[in-house]
Structure 1
């Protein structure tokens, strides 16, 4: 477990270096959680008490339309933050599902603990601000990709950005993420 906390500290200190005393305060705000493959981290219409930092594993964030079709918004793997951020921040029921593609381990940070951290340790405010900006930029790039790129361009860009993800995600889920059919994905993979 200690190695997990060291990994989290390293992750935070890439943006906001902490003293040992500050780190002790930060660490006690996180709780550890495990889920098995196919278990839900978040289900639509439930409250979302935490945001999650992925220690190990792989998850998908998605919605299901009125016809029952799954639309994947994001994959989250090691060192990614994930949640239904709208539901988490506003303390309203979730509009998204997040479930595990692989057995997964997380650190959970409740909203009241994050707020307390930001009040007590201003460096953490900076950390969360920068991480939020990175997330917003990634979301903006994803939307622009869906609007302006061909399926082949989206696939090739995914291979460049996250080549190891292709090996971990089943073809059906990868096709959903790229907004193509499995047959189209097979053609793209050549």
Structure 2
């Protein structure tokens, strides 16, 4: 399970075997079943999760009971309610499993410790957070500037694996569409 994490880290920073062993000793292996909550609104968020296997969704439910999907996370992605995690406050979002999941969980205390002890890890997390922020900004701009078909085509182009694994009702929620609108989109080649 931990070798996927090593590959993820070493895309940015090389590690010795000793460094890797020490760093991974700060992670906990966690398994979740399909539909199980990983983070639940109102609860503490003690961990940031690296997805080794499986698929998750992060979402909020509005006053009318409608689900708004903020993010999906599959293998080699990180997921948490970062606002709650870093401020040590209750979660404002939900994260649950679309598939059975295997993850590595890192507490805030352990993250701070390994970042203090290994500047490589501080740099790694800084780069990962910057890339995550860029993706979030691109997602917001897509929702503001693109029509439904453009958003769907971009998702097909950038994340074809995700399209195959996510039920249409969740894709619609992620794209800001109704399921009916998603079904009507003309996706013939252009």
Q: Normalising by structure 1, report the TM-score.
A: 0.97
How far apart, in 2, do the equivalents of 1:177 and 1:184 lie? 13
2:139 pairs with 1:168: no
The answer to whether the 8 Å contact 2:40/2:91 transfers is yes
Tell me what 1:67 maps to.
64
Q: 1:21-170 to 2 correspondence within 5 Å?
A: 21-170=18-167
Aligned structure 1 segments of 4 or more residues deviating by more than 2 angstroms = none
How far apart, in 1, do the equivalents of 2:74 and 2:115 lie? 25
Q: What's the CA shift for 1:144?
A: 0.3
The answer to whether the 8 Å contact 2:52/2:102 transfers is yes
Residue deviations 1:121-173 (CA, integer Å, cap 9, x gap): 11000000000001000000000000010000000000000111111111111
Residue deviations 1:21-78 (CA, integer Å, cap 9, x gap): 2111101011100011000000000000000000000000000111111000000000
How far apart, in 1, do the equivalents of 2:6 and 2:38 lie? 23
Of 128-137 and 15-24, more deviation after overlay is shown by: 15-24
How far apart, in 2, do the equivalents of 1:170 and 1:22 lie? 40
How many residue pairs get aligned? The number is: 187
Cα 1:88–1:189 shift into 2, 3 Å = farther
Q: What's the CA shift for 1:19?
A: 1.4
